[in-house]
Structure 1
């Protein structure tokens, strides 16, 4: 390589040389540029031009949105109607003079009517959390509301047909002797008073002054204690 003489003019004096990138870097830069341009072109081609959307398509979208809103409104109306019908049915159920209903809404059937420990268990036991409200199974007059020996705090109702219902082991009583009640009225709270093994409602039904098995007897009235179903005028109400 020939050395430049000091007398020769320096063509590069005053200029700044830009280093030439390596071939690999040059190729990468060029490739990236082409790929980026392609992506931009594809993206631009894939997005619809708002001016090119047909009026009929826009109309269909608007109609679909309106239909969806209409369906939602109808569903909300139907749900409200169902709740209202349920409330009206429960109200008519309790006001009907000949209605018979479940004593509790939600319970575990724990003990049947029959002999237990060589002694007659004259009713059935329905376990529920202490403080759960229980209801009169039929309209009538409260003849007992207070402490009643092994029954603990107890309510006894005399019904128009002469039968009696007995509700034992209450934690609180909501009625007084002589009070008139309707089917479904809350008359006390589930408790653990008297000769009790845990929070539950002890229910008895007396016919002609004698205890009888409440389960088959109430079935004749359209109430199934074991299935927790009560029927009235041919309709079924799940509690």
Structure 2
């Protein structure tokens, strides 16, 4: 091969370099390329004494190539597993940061969802002393905070998924419309306003604008309002 003179232009100057593979697979890629090049060279009689090369050497090169490809495949598999694990952890973290909680504690569960006195009772009643603070069951935006007809003083919170929670018959509300709240934030005080028969919190849940039974809906989200229990991370988030 003729040596390039210093006065001759560099034919390779200015050409783009091939991108370097990620470090996690760099060794496997380099090994595969090197071994593959060796096999091609030997197969094409590129070496001066290629005919004298022992068949066992070629076999060793082929085995080394297969091994390096397997290593690259294992590296890819490990990378995918790591990404999946991180995604799962992120989902869990998001759930812990935005939990569902009980609206208050120390209540008596009364008047479940269903027909009552010939009419549909569209929520549940939680009996507690007047003035007992109650809180948001989930994060969202306050869309109503004030007098709301038969609900008396009420608070409505729209959650990110479009569902709504209505808290009725309050003696007072402690939030404003447009305010962003998190699960556990105080919304108001239990009362006896509107069409109410005794001090209690009336809780409704609306999905697609229609009321549904809050009990199974909350159970699906880790809160059992009849047993007054909630997911363990709820206590951590509320503290």
TM-score (norm 2): 0.57
**1:107 has 2:101 as partner:** no
Structure 1 residue runs of 4 or more that deviate by more than 3 Å after TM superposition: 232-237
Corresponding position of 1:222:
222
Partner of 1:144: 144
Partner of 2:118: 118
Q: Deviations over 1:53-97 (max 9, x none)?
A: xxxxxxxxxxxxxxxxxxxxxxxxxxxxxxxxxxxxxxxx9x944
Match of 1:200 in 2: 200
Aligned length, in residue pairs: 144
The question of whether the paired residues in 1 share the 8 Å contact of 2:127 and 2:200 is answered with yes
Aligned equivalent of 1:185: 185
* Structure 2 unaligned blocks of 5 or more: 1-92
List gaps (5 residues or longer) in structure 1.
1-92
For residues 228 and 185 of structure 2, the distance between their equivalents in structure 1, rounded to whole angstroms, comes to: 17
Q: Which residue of 2 aligns with 1:159?
A: 159
Q: Matches of 2:146 and 2:182 in 1, distance apart?
A: 19
Q: C-alpha displacement at 1:98, in angstroms?
A: 2.5
CA deviation string 1:129-187 (max 9, x = no partner): 00000000000000000100000000000000110000000001000000000000011
Q: Contact 2:96–2:233 (CA<8 Å) still a contact in 1?
A: no
Secondary structure class of the residue paired with 1:183: coil
Partners in 2 of 1:234 and 1:166 — Cα distance?
A: 20
Counterparts in 2 of 1:39-50, with a 5 A limit? none
Q: Based on CA coordinates, which of the two structures has the bigger radius of gyration?
A: 1
8 Å contact kept, 2:106–2:128: yes
Contact 2:107–2:127 under 8 Å retained in 1: yes
Q: Deviations over 1:10-53 (max 9, x none)?
A: xxxxxxxxxxxxxxxxxxxxxxxxxxxxxxxxxxxxxxxxxxxx
Residue of structure 2 in register with 1:176 after alignment:
176
The 2-side partners of 1:189 and 1:166 are apart by 14
RMSD: 2.2
Counterpart for residue 49 of structure 1: none
Partners of 2:99 and 2:234 within 8 A in 1:
no
Matches within 5 A, 1:67-82: none
CA 1:236–1:221 in structure 2 vs 1: closer, same or farther (change >3 Å)? farther
